[in-house]
Structure 1
Amino acid sequence: MSLLKNIKLVSIFTNREIPFFYYFLLISILLSGCQSSVVLEPTTTTFSVATEPPVVPTSTMQPTVQIGLEESPIIIGYIVSGNQTNIENLAETMINNLEDKTSYEIRFEAFTNPQQAFDNLRQGEVHFIFIQPLTYLAASERDLIVPLLVSNHFGLYNYGTQFFTNIDSGFNTYFDEKTNKSTTTADFALRQFEGMRPCWTEPSSLSGTIIPHGILAKNGVSFLPPAYLQNPSATIRALYIKGVCDFGATYSYSGDPRTSSQVINDLPDVMDRIMIIWQSDAIIPSLGLSASVIVPPQVQSDLKNAFLSLLSDENGKAIVSEALQYDIQGFLSIEDDYYDALRELVKAANINPYQHLGY
């Protein structure tokens, strides 16, 4: 606009007419200047969201250096539970054996913080990890890992859940103690719990909370808000005394909570008073070994075979059990569909596995 003003002033002070051609030329220049002046620079707005970090696309998660060398060793991670200490030193014999079998440089890293282990896995800083089922599902949903092995823990690769009630509660049992099997489907056996109150253990327990919840939800059985009693023994005790809840659930196949010393010493007639209503299949995998998707297939195969070979060695089971502070009687090769039955029930219970890392 100042240019137009100047043009006008020139015209006034010179008292001369400006030819039409110059007006046309000057207007064209002005218009082009106006167009350039209204171009807006893009701006960005940053939002701070209190949630998990975004998933890094698998295609970008590539190792920058060859792993298994002295300067870039393979990292095997493990999320420790409870008050376990000195795990990395206890794993030294296992790591030495794996290095001898593969010629790779290997390090063992124990995590007391499940979130830190998950973040390191996401960032490609952990190459293999011993992982519990819910943590596996969280990592699998994000395409972070490839399952390799599941462990045989005290003779079982999987365990399940079972529903209990007090014999005086008037519920019908559909479980054969002699064959250790249910005699009908969950849909039929558990509909009698409609509108009743369960005793669960704690929110992250697969056998004591999440899977029984999922089984009920999958079969359309609604229930009252649960009482959380933290452990299986407390669930059995609550059913024994009555008044806390109508039914409860705990682990199955790996033992019977009614026979634990915390229960039977105080309640010697508990086996007669508390009965099993129905038992699931063994659908909860034991501790598994998975590889990060950034690990080359040949390295995945080498480590997997090294673990299988180690367990066949004399004292191999004891070496791995000592390293993990977790009974290992064997390993079974698996693929992702090994977790499908579990995945279905976790989804039916409306559980986000990421909120239960370490389990």
Structure 2
Amino acid sequence: MGKGNAHIVVLDPYAYELAFQRDLVRASFAVLEDGEGKYGAQFLATRRGGFTSYFDEWTKENTIDEAALALAQFADKKPCWSDEISASGYVVPLGYLNENQILTRPPAFVEGHPTVVRSLYASGICDFGATYIDARKFPSLEDEFPDLVEQVIVVWQVPAIIPYNVLAFSTTMPPEMRNLFASQIPAILQTEAGKAAFKTVYDIEEIEPVNDGYYEEFRIYVDESGVDLTTLVK
């Protein structure tokens, strides 16, 4: 895109953010998954570890909004992260910890959200972890550990700030052309042929009009994580 070879692109969140920082793209549509443009994450720990939960399992809501209070108990504790590029299992949760100046012990990268949960349940590997919502209910985990949800608790839930893919336009595209395409794409998706084409070319079934501000919270916590964006782009 930097060479002007593409004008309409679908990017994963990291690639979009890197391109946005380089003034190469402007977001036009959020790609939706099950009707949602963003998803959250959750900090997990074990009940036997003595951690306090600030999440209500019945209402599925945090009992406090202040992340600092909920996450302070992780100071000098060892995290289990999913992998080094996972938004919900590493980058965004790390951003929350760093923003609140919570220093932890060196982490363990255990390769997979279910593995984070399993590592916590087994104990001895780490004190807390982060996953997508709700990795504890991964089928094989529920079968293997019937009391898992009781023993591995949600300490605090990260709000839905992590985007799915982004349909963006190149900044080299004239504004009037960008506006024309932006107005036509939703109509195209209303036709059977258009749906099929977007599914084939972009793997898109549903979109929502947005602008770059839609991604601001994600942008903040990726930046707070301190992770080099160039290492996150596939």
2:79 to 158, 181, 198: 198
2:222 to 307, 322, 346: 346
C-alpha distance in 2, partners of 1:136/1:314? Answer: 28
| 1:257-311 alpha-carbon deviations (Å, 9 max, x no partner) | 1111231122222111111000011111111101111111222223223321133
Q: Using the TM superposition, give the Cα deviation of residue 203 of structure 1 relative to its aligned residue in structure 2, in angstroms.
A: 0.6
**SS class of match (1:122):** coil
What's the counterpart of residue 128 of structure 1? 8
Q: Using the TM superposition, give the Cα deviation of residue 352 of structure 1 relative to its aligned residue in structure 2, in angstroms.
A: 2.2
1:166 to 41, 46, 59: 46
What's the counterpart of residue 25 of structure 2? 145
| 1:168-225 alpha-carbon deviations (Å, 9 max, x no partner) | 1110000011221111110101100000000001111111000000000101111011
C-alpha distance in 2, partners of 1:217/1:289? Answer: 30
C-alpha distance in 2, partners of 1:356/1:155? Answer: 26
What's the counterpart of residue 91 of structure 1? none
| Structure 1 residues 195 and 348: alpha-carbon distance in aligned structure 2, compared to 1, 3 A threshold | same
What's the counterpart of residue 107 of structure 2? 226
**TM-score when normalising by structure 2:** 0.94
What's the counterpart of residue 182 of structure 1? 62
C-alpha distance in 1, partners of 2:102/2:196? Answer: 44
1:247 to 114, 128, 138: 128
- Are 1:236 and 2:112 matched, yes or no? no
| Structure 1 residues 193 and 151: alpha-carbon distance in aligned structure 2, compared to 1, 3 A threshold | same
Length, aligned pairs only: 233
- Are 1:313 and 2:206 matched, yes or no? no
| Structure 1 residues 204 and 323: alpha-carbon distance in aligned structure 2, compared to 1, 3 A threshold | same
C-alpha distance in 1, partners of 2:189/2:128? Answer: 41
| Structure 1 residues 243 and 187: alpha-carbon distance in aligned structure 2, compared to 1, 3 A threshold | same
C-alpha distance in 2, partners of 1:122/1:319? Answer: 25
C-alpha distance in 2, partners of 1:228/1:289? Answer: 31
Q: Using the TM superposition, give the Cα deviation of residue 324 of structure 1 relative to its aligned residue in structure 2, in angstroms.
A: 3.4
1:265 to 143, 164, 167: 143
Q: Using the TM superposition, give the Cα deviation of residue 356 of structure 1 relative to its aligned residue in structure 2, in angstroms.
A: 1.3
**SS class of match (1:149):** strand
Q: Larger C-alpha radius of gyration, 1 or 2?
A: 1
The worse-fitting range, judged by mean Cα deviation, of 258-267 and 175-184 is: 258-267
Q: Percent identity?
A: 32
C-alpha distance in 2, partners of 1:132/1:334? Answer: 15
What's the counterpart of residue 279 of structure 1? 157
**RMSD after superposition:** 1.6
The residue type paired with residue 42 of structure 2 is Q
C-alpha distance in 2, partners of 1:263/1:135? Answer: 32
| 1:11-33 alpha-carbon deviations (Å, 9 max, x no partner) | xxxxxxxxxxxxxxxxxxxxxxx
Instruction: Describe how 1:21-36 pairs up with structure 2 within 5 A.
Output: none
- Which one has the bigger strand percentage? 2
| 1:216-237 alpha-carbon deviations (Å, 9 max, x no partner) | 0101111011100111010000
What's the counterpart of residue 212 of structure 1? 93
The residue type paired with residue 167 of structure 2 is L
C-alpha distance in 2, partners of 1:334/1:236? Answer: 34
C-alpha distance in 2, partners of 1:316/1:153? Answer: 18
**SS class of match (1:321):** helix
* Structure 1 gaps, min length 5: 1-120
Structure number with the bigger relative contact order (C-alpha 8 A, sep ≥ 6) is: 2
C-alpha distance in 2, partners of 1:318/1:200? Answer: 37
| Structure 1 residues 312 and 269: alpha-carbon distance in aligned structure 2, compared to 1, 3 A threshold | same
**TM-score when normalising by structure 1:** 0.62
Runs of 4+ residues over 6 Å off in structure 1: none
C-alpha distance in 2, partners of 1:267/1:312? Answer: 45
C-alpha distance in 1, partners of 2:141/2:171? Answer: 45
**SS class of match (1:283):** strand
